[in-house]
Structure 1
Amino acid sequence: MDILTHKENGILTISFNRPEKKNAITQAMYQAMADALRAAENDTAVRAILLTGKPEIFTAGNDLEDFMKNAGGLANPDAVPPVYQFMRALNEAEKPVIAAVSGAAVGIGTTLLMHCDLIYLADNARLSMPFTQLGLCPEFASSMIFQQIVGYQRAAEKLMLGEAFSAQEAYDMGFVNKVLPLDELLPYAQQVATKLVTLPAASIRVTKRLMKANRPAAVSDKMLEENQHFSVMLNAPEAKEAFMAFFQKRKPDFSQFH
């Protein structure tokens, strides 16, 4: 199973489990996570949700071969691809969502953190949003949410250059709650989840709803806007050059494009 789910003591843990592919995410994996999140919303036994990966890697982002096979669905306004089902379920989750991240969190691996409530990183974590390096643009409202969290200049640096940044830098810019030694990460995140489980579920739900009250409509609109640009750019020459370079294991040449 590329996605593992485990429910115990009020905590639903959803884990990436494809280490041989660096936890690269396929559409089937997105579907499994979307289904798990939706089921959790209707399960009174679940009071907190924990997302995690492997000690050496959270996720390398989209599985590019699988992504390109299914890219047509991204441009279809009538389709709801699994990736959108997952991100919508994550953004609309009423129960608290905690992320425990170690190793690399590439592309959507960083984007999805913006839709979590609490984020804990191991000291070996490296975050990146290399969309411009692939001839693409930010996704799932990250152009809006990230700058709200860290400020315009810091967001511009990370989104425009697309370079990886460390766990400590993520903490210093206010993006994450805490950085911990690798062996302490999961126990700490589980401890926080346990604290949330013991609190009144209604109080947690209402608190989260109030905090995000002004966000849902704006996030949905921004997701749609980014998706429109993303879909166009996915079929543009720059992206084709970037993906071809990736598969050919060479550096892309964007000098011919203006």
Structure 2
Amino acid sequence: MVARRRSATGRTRWATLGVTATVRRAEMSDEAVIYEVSEGVATLTLNRPERMNAWNASLDQAMSASLAAARDDDAVRAIIVTGAGRAFCAGADLGGGADTFAGREDSDAGSNFAQLWPYEVPKPVIAAINGPAVGIGMTYPMLCDVRIAAETAKLGFVFTRRGMMPELAAHTIVQRVAGFSNAAHLLMSGRIVTGAEAAELGIVSKAVPKETLLDTARAMASEYRYAAPVSVAVTKRLLWEGMHTGVSAMRDREDEVFSWIGNQADAREGVLSFLEKRDPDWKLSAARDLPEGFA
């Protein structure tokens, strides 16, 4: 269910940064997700353009598999999620008609694949919202660390307009990033906003012209190659824990991990590379070398 783009150019080495730059190219696939790695960035493209990338079980499983592949690949420093065609994701596939949302209490019990969400991956995940994003097409990118959108993209948490309610922790995340009042209006009314309006509300970090969206996302993702992978992973985990952690508890948590990370090879390398005015050569892996309790 995941189409991986084959290497046509081989591999080049960013020796001083410890990044393997692999370019994989292929024709558009009929698989649910296209997975491409280039210069330390994995791009995961939702690939049901004929259905505006509407979410179904196949896409759900393919996204988890793709995130796991990026998580386990030390050559990947950051991840971009975007959509094929004119849409990011038009929400749940409504092929089931009136019963689309029925029977969910049984569907989870019968699932036999390992679900993985963007916030669980120990690497930065950037949602590049290229077009319409509604329902789970909005709550899923809210689980990413950073969101950017095309200025004219139509975005909405439309659940209440379908007789449903928002999910994927939207009740917590949206009010944290946009404030309670903005979250209340967006989630309860189900109103549609443009990417530009979403940026004003804080739902996305920035809105850019659609033709520059992926370049903007790639430029943002490329910045992580200068940061130590384990330091990034630990920082991401603490940021998400901060959604439900008080100040004193977070200080205790930081102190514990700060002591551990200060004794690691990358802490020494970070200081030495700065003093010697060279790029760092990071050694630790975000897939294998996280402190206890972070794996």
Within the alignment, does 1:156 sit opposite 2:184 as a pair? yes
TM-score normalized by structure 2?
0.67
Q: Which residue of 1 aligns with 2:139?
A: 111
Unmatched 5+ residue regions in structure 2? 1-30, 246-295
Identity of aligned residues (%): 38
User: Distance between the aligned counterparts of 1:78 and 1:127, measured in 2?
Assistant: 27
Amino acid in structure 2 at the alignment position of 1:127:
L
Amino acid in structure 2 at the alignment position of 1:42:
D
User: Distance between the aligned counterparts of 1:114 and 1:139, measured in 2?
Assistant: 11
What whole-Å deviation, never above 9, does each CA across 1:155-188 have from its counterpart, x for those lacking one? 1111111111111211111121111111111011
TM-score normalized by structure 1?
0.76
Q: CA, structure 1 residues 98+65, in 2 after alignment: closer, same or farther (shift >3 Å)?
A: same
Give the Å deviation of 1:152.
Answer: 1.5
The residue matched to 1:194 in structure 2 has which SS?
helix
The residue matched to 2:122 in structure 1 has which SS?
coil
Q: Which residue of 1 aligns with 2:83?
A: 53
Q: Which residue of 1 aligns with 2:289?
A: none
User: Distance between the aligned counterparts of 1:143 and 1:56, measured in 2?
Assistant: 28
RMSD: 2.3
Q: CA, structure 1 residues 19+214, in 2 after alignment: closer, same or farther (shift >3 Å)?
A: same
Give the Å deviation of 1:77.
Answer: 8.3
Amino acid in structure 1 at the alignment position of 2:156:
S
Q: Which moved more, 1:38-47 or 1:110-119?
A: 38-47
Unmatched 5+ residue regions in structure 1? 218-258
Q: Which residue of 1 aligns with 2:53?
A: 23
**Larger Rg over CA atoms:** 2
Within the alignment, does 1:197 sit opposite 2:225 as a pair? yes
Among residues 10, 19, 34, which one is paired with 1:4 in the alignment? 34
Amino acid in structure 2 at the alignment position of 1:106:
V
What whole-Å deviation, never above 9, does each CA across 1:84-126 have from its counterpart, x for those lacking one? 955x422311110001112100101110121111111111211
- Residue pair 2:119, 2:240 contacting (<8 A) in 1 also: no
Amino acid in structure 1 at the alignment position of 2:122:
E
User: Distance between the aligned counterparts of 1:104 and 1:78, measured in 2?
Assistant: 27
1:178-193 to structure 2, matched below 5 A, reads: 178-193=206-221
Amino acid in structure 1 at the alignment position of 2:236:
K
Give the Å deviation of 1:49.
Answer: 0.7
User: Distance between the aligned counterparts of 1:99 and 1:112, measured in 2?
Assistant: 9
Q: Which residue of 1 aligns with 2:66?
A: 36
What whole-Å deviation, never above 9, does each CA across 1:55-94 have from its counterpart, x for those lacking one? 521110111125957853x203862748x955x4223111
What whole-Å deviation, never above 9, does each CA across 1:24-79 have from its counterpart, x for those lacking one? 1210111011111122222212211110013521110111125957853x203862
Q: Which residue of 1 aligns with 2:15?
A: none
Q: CA, structure 1 residues 143+69, in 2 after alignment: closer, same or farther (shift >3 Å)?
A: closer
1:176-255 to structure 2, matched below 5 A, reads: 176-215=204-243
The residue matched to 1:56 in structure 2 has which SS?
coil
Q: Which residue of 1 aligns with 2:152?
A: 124
User: Distance between the aligned counterparts of 2:191 and 2:205, measured in 1?
Assistant: 21
Larger RCO, structures 1/2 (Cα 8 Å, 6+ apart): 1
Amino acid in structure 1 at the alignment position of 2:227:
L
- Residue pair 1:58, 1:101 contacting (<8 A) in 2 also: yes
- Residue pair 1:26, 1:66 contacting (<8 A) in 2 also: no
Q: Which residue of 2 aligns with 1:233?
A: none
